[in-house]
Amino acid sequence: MTARSTTAKTAAAAPRKATRKKAAPAPAPQPQPGALRTECGKGHPLSGDNLYILPSSGHRRCKICRAEIRRAYRQSKRATAASTAPATTSSPKGA
């Protein structure tokens, strides 16, 4: 046997050390994109009585814009209901 083959056999038979890469440290938490905003997209303040916080997620909403969206939705529902309602004709009773 040559020296080379002996070294290869011992290297193959030697137990391997369990080496594990160390985990990188966790990045510092970043604030949510909307957390630093002081105004909504339309310029209303996001503070005080105009601030609505969604209970399920904690997201902040502008009460003025929210009221406008709800008002527009109700109007569109009324318009849709009026256009799809069956036309009624008035006929005298007993005729």
pLDDT 10s per residue in the chain (95 long)?
555 555 556 556 666 677 777 778 888 777 777 677 889 999 999 999 999 999 998 888 999 999 999 999 999 999 888 888 676 666 666 55
Number of structural domains (the chain) is: 1
Model confidence pTM above 0.85: no
Q: What is the pLDDT of residue 74?
A: 95
Q: Which is nearest to 60 in space by CA: 74, 29, 43, 39?
A: 39
Indicate whether 54 belongs to any domain. Answer: yes
The Cα 72–Cα 88 span in angstroms is: 27
Indicate whether 25 belongs to any domain. Answer: no
Indicate whether 60 belongs to any domain. Answer: yes
DSSP 56-70: TT--EEEHHHHHHHH
Query: Under a CB-based contact definition with an 8 Å cutoff, are residues 59 and 51 in contact?
Result: no
For residue 61, what are the domain limits?
35-78
